[in-house]
Structure 1
């Protein structure tokens, strides 16, 4: 059949074959396998490790991802038929190209760097979320404490006001009673003492010993 293998490297090889008249409306099957041993393996499609299908418009194909310094067998058939010995070729891959090895190391280092960066970003995001959550929680606790203190202050003020008002009223009532006992006819005097603003209006004296001074709007007592 005239299959040839060219441009062999440590990882690739180009397979070239002549066109087959019976594969015009079908496809070509390219099968290859490493460490081929004709004594132990047959030319059955199941014996090959990998198989590629290419359109009939092509007459060459680059096999990739090969292992350096390895013996391979490659076969080309029409459709999915089992190959014969004249449809196969054995070749050996070369040592790995230094440039290819360098590219592989760079790709590996880049992959490790990207993975590490993603992990660090995830860890940083988790830590930031935890700090923000803790800060918000402390702020809420501080606001709740302030609200409680404010409510307690309001309660204290209200309690003092409630306790002060009855005491003041009792004191004024006792004062009025004392004045009434000392001066039975001087009820208006007690009213004036309890509410001094009442002196601004004219008052009719309740006893002969009290007089009104309308000129100044104040009250005075005369014997």
Structure 2
């Protein structure tokens, strides 16, 4: 049939074939498989690892993603036919292309770098969130402590003020009670001093010796 394999590299190979006048199908089947020595002697479509469909308007196809330093068999048939020995060729791929190897290494390094960058960003975001959350929590606790302290101080001041007022009222009440016991007549005098208008009304003298003394005299003496 005249199938040829050209431009063989470590990963690709170009397969060409003459047009088949008796092929009535709408496409060609390009089948290839690695490690030809392990295949059965009979050619069966199921024995091939990969199969590509090519329109009948074309007479060549580039096989890609091959393994370097590997023996392959490639066959070209019509869609519905099983390949025969004259429709197949065996070829060996070359070593890996240095440029391709360098490109693969660069892609691998770039992938590792991108993955590391993403992980670092995620870790930094998590740490930043944790720090901000902890800072806000401490600040909230500090404000609560300040509010609690101010309330306690206010309560203490209010309690002291109430206690002082109660104590002062108790002292004044006790003092007034003692004064009433010691000087019963002095209450009227204190009332007159505090209320001069009380002199207009007659006040009963506390004893007989003071009955002849007019009350107006007391007021005038006081005035």
Normalised by the size of structure 2, how large is the TM-score? 0.77
**Post-superposition CA distance 1:138-168 (Å, at most 9, x none):** 1222122112212211221221122122222
**What 5-or-longer segments of structure 2 have no aligned partner?**
204-215
Match of 2:84 in 1: 84
Change (3 A) 1:133 1:39: closer
Match of 1:58 in 2: 58
**Post-superposition CA distance 1:14-72 (Å, at most 9, x none):** 11223345656533222111121287443111211222223334332211111122221
2: CA distance, partners of 1:51 / 1:188: 128
Q: Which moved more, 1:177-186 or 1:83-92?
A: 177-186
Change (3 A) 1:17 1:188: farther
* 1:204 aligned onto 2:197: yes
Change (3 A) 1:178 1:7: same
Give yes or no for contact 1:180–1:186 (8 Å, CA) kept in 2: no
Question: What secondary structure sits across from 1:150 in the alignment?
Answer: helix
Give yes or no for contact 1:179–1:186 (8 Å, CA) kept in 2: no
User: Map of 1:18-167 to 2, 5 A cutoff?
Assistant: 18-21=18-21, 26-37=26-37, 40-167=40-167
2: CA distance, partners of 1:148 / 1:80: 90
**What 5-or-longer segments of structure 1 have no aligned partner?**
193-201, 212-220
Change (3 A) 1:25 1:73: closer
Change (3 A) 1:39 1:103: closer
Normalised by the size of structure 1, how large is the TM-score? 0.77
Match of 1:217 in 2: none
Question: Which of the pair is proportionally richer in helix?
Answer: 2
2: CA distance, partners of 1:74 / 1:3: 9
Q: What's the offset of the Cα at 1:171? A: 2.7
Q: Which moved more, 1:32-41 or 1:58-67?
A: 32-41
* 1:184 aligned onto 2:187: yes
Q: What's the offset of the Cα at 1:101? A: 1.3
How big is the alpha-carbon RMSD for the aligned residues of Structure 1 and Structure 2? 2.9
Give yes or no for contact 2:28–2:79 (8 Å, CA) kept in 1: yes
Question: What secondary structure sits across from 1:83 in the alignment?
Answer: coil
Match of 1:218 in 2: none
Match of 1:196 in 2: none
* Count of residues in Structure 1 that have an aligned counterpart in Structure 2: 204
1: CA distance, partners of 2:68 / 2:166: 106
